[in-house]
Structures are given as C-alpha cells and as structure tokens.
Structure 1
Amino acid sequence: MNFSYGKTQYVASDRMKRSPFLSKMVYNVFGYTNVGNYARSRVFIRLVNSLPLSSFKKIIDLGAGLGEFTFMMAEEMPQTKFTAIEILPERVSTLKQVVTKFNFKNVEIFSDKIEKLPESAAYDFIFAVDVFEHIHKEDMPFKDCFEKLKPGGYLLVKIPNIKQTTLLPESLFEDHQEWLEHEHVGQVYDLNGLKQRFIDEGFTIEHSSNTDGMLSRIGWEIGFLSKKGGSAIQLLFLPLCKALVHLDRVFYFPRNTGNAIQVIGRKPA
C-alpha cells in the first residue's frame, strides 16, 4: 500500500500547532520534519507491506503516541478498524483532536492498558514502534498481545538495540543520553534476545532484522544537533538528513548490526 506518513504532524506536534498555517506550508515543502520519526516510518512501511494488510479488519497501535502510524494506515485502509492505545493524558487529548480535525471514522482512542480491552482473540495485527523500551522487561505486554490477537494474528515490535553506536562525539548528546537512561528502562535486548522473547511467549517468528545503520545514525545526529540551532537551521539540514536515511537502506552493511531491531511474530493458527 502507498502510505503517506506524517500528514497530521502540523496538528499533533506541540511545536507546530502553534502556527498551523505556517506549519502546513512547511510540511508541503519539506515533508515530515522529525528525522528520527521519519526513519522509523521508512522501516515500518516496508515491514507492514510484507503482511496481508487487505485481510486485516482490526488493528491495535500499542503506545500510539501522536498516532502518526495509526492515522497513516487508517487513511489508506478505511474499512479497517484501528484502536490507538495511549495512557498519557496529554497524548490522548492530542489524538482526539486529530481524529476530530481529520474526521477519522475508523479510529478509536483507548486510554488504558491493552489488558483492559474488553475483547480477546479479536485483532489481526498489533504493532508497537519504539514503545517497549519504556517498559521494564518483566512488564512488557507480550502475553496481553498474544491474548488479544486472533489465531494467525501478527505482532510487530520495534525497539532500540541494547548496543548503540554514536558516530559524532558522545559529549554532544549528553542531555539526550541522560533522557535515555531515565526513559529506556526496557532497552535490554539485542535481536536474538528479542526473537527468543517472542518464542518464549508462544509466537512463531515471521521476520527479524536490524536497521538504523551508520548513515541513518549520522542523519539522526545531524538532525538532532541542527534542531538546537532553531527551525531555520533544522530545515536547512533536513533534506540531507532524509537523504542519509534513504541511502542507509541501500548501503547498510553489515546487516547483522544496527541501532534498531524489529521482530514480527505470529500467533499459531
């Protein structure tokens, strides 16, 4: 499917919704402006297009955040029902604003944990993109996902690799590193470890891969640093950063390394 990522950014982003008209113009010229999220979207779109999307009737976005993956898919798949799960009140409020603004009829917002959803064995696909690293290992909701999926349903989990490579001097990212140490309590897996967790929880492995190689990483680092220089500097460097993300897919080597890992598991039919 031909997904278009980020159309809701000018409404959902706290920074951009202060000037929605200008922000919409910026999006029309430059596209999506957050390099890290943009890189995630390239990986996610490739992965979900490997699945039988046309047969999916009910999908969960677990830890939806600003809902950009939900809204991207809901626009392209109007006959599919999407449940965006988010527990942070400010994010829930933003999600509801976007649903109203864009009149999404096939999206519902659920502001509680997945275990509180009333239906079991009801969903075709659950995805969690950069969510589980914020959850302690023992609290990661693999079992709840397994319970909510139909037999034959799919779970996609994308998280940062436990081992990270920084190319520019680490001293430039000290504030980000402090945030990671506080927030990423569940950044505990390499690819083999994540695959084994899926297997231990009853899933069969449909796909596993490393992504976010050196070129994508340098794109993120430049984007992160340029943002500190203000909006004009950020936009100046944005095309370069996005180009590096795309080049990473072509020249990423070796494939068994990378700062991000993702696994798709399937519940036995």
Structure 2
Amino acid sequence: MQYDPIKRVLGKAFNRTPFLRKVFYSLLDMLLLRAWHVSRELKKWGKSHSGKELKILDAGSGFGQYTYRMSRLFPLSQIKGVDVKEEQIADCNQFFTRIGKGEQVHFEEADLTKFNESEVYDLVLSVDVMEHILEDEQVFRNFNASLKPGGVLFISTPSDQGGSDSHDHDHEEDVHGFIDEHVRDGYGVTDIREKLERAGFSDIDVRYTYGKPGKISWRLSMKYPIQMLGVSKIFFVLLPFYYLIAYPVSALLNYFDVHGKHETGTGLMVKAEKPSK
C-alpha cells in the first residue's frame, strides 16, 4: 500500500472549495500526532515573538497545512513555502490567494539542496522532509545560512527506532509500503545532532515522539483507516462512524504523547538555533 496516493485522493476530495480545504487542514491537525507536536513547539516559540513581523520558511510545504497554521499563529509574518512538486506550489498559491492571504503567504518551487537565501528567516520549519533527501547535511547548511542570527529551525522526522512513517513492524509488507519514498529509515538522536552541529547550529534539542501512546494512536487514527481506504473507497462513507469511536481515544493518547517524555520513539522533534553574532 502506498501512502501518498491516499493523501492525494483525500486532498482532491477536500479541495473543491476553500471551506473544504480548511476542514481538511483541521482534520489533519486533529488526527496527525506530528501536527500536535509541531503545533506545541510553534506556540511555545511564538510566545516570545508575539506581535513581531517575522520571516518564516516552510521547507517542504506539501499541501500547505503547516503554512496555514503558521499564517494564523503569526498574523504579522511573511511566509514562504517551498516544495519540489510544481503542481502543489500552484495549488497552494491559488488557495491562499482565494482566502485573502496572498500578500502574507507565497509558494515557490525549490530544491532544498540548492536553496540558500542569506540570513532572511527568523524561523525554518521542516516537517517530514529530511527522510526524503539524501544530501541532508547540505540542506542543514542551507537552512543555517538562510536563518538570521538567533533564528530557529524546527524539524519533525522519523527516528531510527522504527520510524519512516511505519511506526509498526508487526508486518514487514506494511513497513515497506509506508517507506518506499524514503532514502533513510530514520535518524538517531546523536546522528542528527552531530549533523546539525557540523552545519553550524547550537542549542540543539532532540526528543523522541511517537512513544508508546503515540504508536497506539497512530494505528487507530491513521494506519487502520488508510489500510481500509486502500482496500475500497467505500470506506470513505464509513470513516465518520469509525472516528466517532476511535478519535476520543486517539486524542487522549496524543495528549499523553505530546506532554510525556519518551526514552524511545519512532519520531523525532528537533529544535536548533543559529548562534547570534
């Protein structure tokens, strides 16, 4: 089973109107545990940057989910989203223009291994991107160069403890289906910290996500529904009834995962700062 085709089907279904697109973003924010972790970090960082005019880069913007969240969290910000997929760039530019955010938010096609805008951004966010890029240290150097002194980088990525969007090794065929597009199975804590240090970052905080509560939640909220949709689209009709039962449990598990400390986990949440001059 491939994960991206299911996401594209869902994206197309919810992209009929701006309202449905916003509903889609809200559903992703509710269901994706990584969105819970990213949102918590952004809110914590935002407390010390309230009311400031910020420059933000969404590095690997995809559907624009996190760009939309940041445009609301930081209304005075200027946000650029970059992605290698031309069709997604055009789609996101069209959507954000339609909802009146065209002056605040802009999307461009870009290769992160070549992206470098000297000391432009206060914040760089990269969610589920680095596991797709072989030349990761070059990208980390580009992020560092593009940040202002004192700027912050947030990364959400799979760990080497069974990550790469599988989060479950019960069935080997499932694992391969979920990680076909990844160039590495995940990062070790020491590995990504050392790479970021070599790229020029300091004050690096790396913590595990998708601990025991998150693994269960992921199966309930994402893995099982996606598997059902992979069997037949008729399950679109049944999904609302499934989530009426599953989501309260999943949300509680997400809360424990976000607010707990995990000795291991299948995801990583990374914060790194560019030293001030």
- The normalised TM-score by structure 1 is 0.80
Q: Distance in 1 between matches of 2:18 and 2:83?
A: 27
TM-fit CA distance, 1:163: 1.6
The letter of the residue matching 1:178 is: G
5+ residue gaps, structure 1: 1-8
Q: Which residue of 2 aligns with 1:32?
A: 27
The letter of the residue matching 1:47 is: E
Q: Select which of 75, 78, 100 maps to 2:75.
A: 78
Is 1:236 the counterpart of 2:249 in the alignment?
A: no
1:150-197 Cα shifts (integer Å, max 9, x gaps):
1111111110011217787733x73562340x3111334122221222
Q: Distance in 2 between matches of 1:237 and 1:249?
A: 20
Is 1:267 the counterpart of 2:266 in the alignment?
A: no
8 Å Cα contact 2:168-2:215 kept in structure 1: no
Q: Distance in 2 between matches of 1:266 and 1:68?
A: 24
1:36-90 Cα shifts (integer Å, max 9, x gaps):
6x21111001111221332451000000001111111112322110000111012
Is 1:129 the counterpart of 2:136 in the alignment?
A: no
CA separation of 1:257 and 1:16: change in aligned 2, threshold 3 A: same
TM-fit CA distance, 1:117: 5.6
Is 1:89 the counterpart of 2:86 in the alignment?
A: yes
TM-fit CA distance, 1:98: 1.4
Q: Distance in 2 between matches of 1:131 and 1:236?
A: 32
Give the alignment of 1:8-27 within 5 angstroms: 13-17=11-15, 20=17, 23=20, 27=23
CA separation of 1:34 and 1:150: change in aligned 2, threshold 3 A: closer
8 Å Cα contact 1:220-1:241 kept in structure 2: no
The letter of the residue matching 2:108 is: F
The letter of the residue matching 1:216 is: G
Q: Distance in 2 between matches of 1:174 and 1:35?
A: 28
Give the alignment of 1:186-265 within 5 angstroms: 186-222=184-220, 223-227=222-226, 228-229=228-229, 230-239=235-244, 240-241=246-247, 243-250=249-256, 255-265=262-272
Q: Distance in 1 between matches of 2:29 and 2:12?
A: 13
Give the alignment of 1:35-46 within 5 angstroms: 38-46=32-40
TM-fit CA distance, 1:132: 0.3
TM-fit CA distance, 1:112: 1.5
Q: Distance in 2 between matches of 1:124 and 1:22?
A: 30
CA separation of 1:215 and 1:236: change in aligned 2, threshold 3 A: farther
Q: Distance in 2 between matches of 1:21 and 1:83?
A: 20
Q: Which residue of 1 aligns with 2:232?
A: none
Q: Which residue of 2 aligns with 1:6?
A: none
8 Å Cα contact 2:18-2:99 kept in structure 1: no
TM-fit CA distance, 1:14: 1.5
Which secondary structure does the structure 1 equivalent of 2:13 belong to?
coil
* Superposition CA RMSD, Å: 3.2
8 Å Cα contact 1:158-1:260 kept in structure 2: yes
Q: % of aligned pairs identical? A: 21
Q: Select which of 61, 65, 78 maps to 2:62.
A: 65
**Count of residue pairs brought into register by the alignment:** 253
8 Å Cα contact 2:60-2:126 kept in structure 1: yes
TM-fit CA distance, 1:100: 2.0
Q: Distance in 1 between matches of 2:169 and 2:200?
A: 41
Q: Which residue of 1 aligns with 2:99?
A: 102
Q: Distance in 2 between matches of 1:242 and 1:93?
A: 36
CA separation of 1:21 and 1:130: change in aligned 2, threshold 3 A: closer
Q: Select which of 150, 153, 178 maps to 1:152.
A: 150
Q: Which residue of 2 aligns with 1:174?
A: 173
Which secondary structure does the structure 1 equivalent of 2:195 belong to?
helix
